[in-house]
Structure 1
């Protein structure tokens, strides 16, 4: 029981912090302004939550084009810390190489679950026609993922089913990722 509680708390903390690092990476890649003066309500929160780990990493990891490697490595380090603590808590039950592999797959799971959440929020906001700074931000984050699907899938009766297709694809990727993780740990 204690292991389950510790595991849950570590998972929540790693998901919030790692997800914030990945959101920072994606927002910067999409060139979404993140300052408070830009009207982005989420940008300042992401900066405050991630600056402590991303800024020191930036001193040694330069950006790769539009990709902020420091944010990506920060997400991986947070996942690595989570799995390392669980590894120690379990009494070194398996090799540390497995922990390194689990951290990589943890980052990929964060990407899939984060995108799934964004698409669901996007779909709900599209139904209620909410116009706000947050709705515009979600739109800018999700539309690049929907654009390739929309090229091949027309509106059906005036309804855009591309978010549903993207959600199904994300679930398929999640299943494949689970199998790949299992194979990598053998």
Structure 2
């Protein structure tokens, strides 16, 4: 029971901090200004880890490597702590598990963004946060919008993207299980 509680709390903390680092990276790639409430929140959560890393890790083109490495280090810390608690052999798998955790974090983060996008498009399409979420989701929804026409005035592309993301999550989980065994 104690391990499950600690594992859950670590998962929540690593998901929030690592997800914020990945959101920071993606917002920079999409050139979304950080003066909005989402940007200020992301900076408040991530400056403590990203800024020191940025001194030693330069950006690669438009990719903020410090934010990406910060997210990976957070996942690495999570899996490292869990491995230390279990106290078994197999510590060499911790970096690989952290990489799988990072991929799962990307998938779950995009799922969260798409769900928030869909909800905001129904209830508050004119809010400043909705504009940021729309700009974050638009590049991922664009290929689906080309393939799927509006059905009765409804855009089903978020649903299609969610299905693809769920399939990707299943594949990542299967790959992780295969590596662990």
Whether these two folds match at TM > 0.5 is: yes
Given candidates 99, 110, 113, the residue that maps to 1:104 is 99
**What is the alpha-carbon distance in structure 2 between the residues aligned to residue 154 and residue 49 of structure 1?**
39
Gaps of 5+ in 1: none
Equivalent residue in structure 1 for 2:129, among 134, 149, 158: 134
**Equivalent residue of 2:56, what SS?**
coil
Query: Does 1:78 pair with 2:71?
Result: no
Give the Cα–Cα distance (whole angstroms) in 2 for the partners of residues 104 and 184 of structure 1.
12
Given that 1:30 and 1:141 are in contact with CA atoms closer than 8 Å, whether structure 2 keeps it comes out as yes
Aligned 8 A contact 1:119 1:163 in 2: yes
SS at match of 1:59: helix
Q: 2:167 aligns with which of 167, 172, 184?
A: 172
Shift of 1:94: 2.9
Matched pairs, number = 181
| C-alpha RMSD of matched pairs (Å) | 1.0
Matches within 5 A, 1:1-186: 1-35=1-35, 40-91=36-87, 93-186=88-181
* TM-score, normalised via structure 2 length: 0.96
Shift of 1:23: 0.4
**In terms of mean alpha carbon deviation, does 41-50 or 164-173 score higher?**
41-50
Residue 100 of structure 1: CA displacement? 0.7
TM-score, normalised via structure 1 length: 0.94
- Segments of 4+ in structure 1 off by > 4 A? none
User: Matches of 1:110 and 1:54 in 2, distance apart?
Assistant: 17
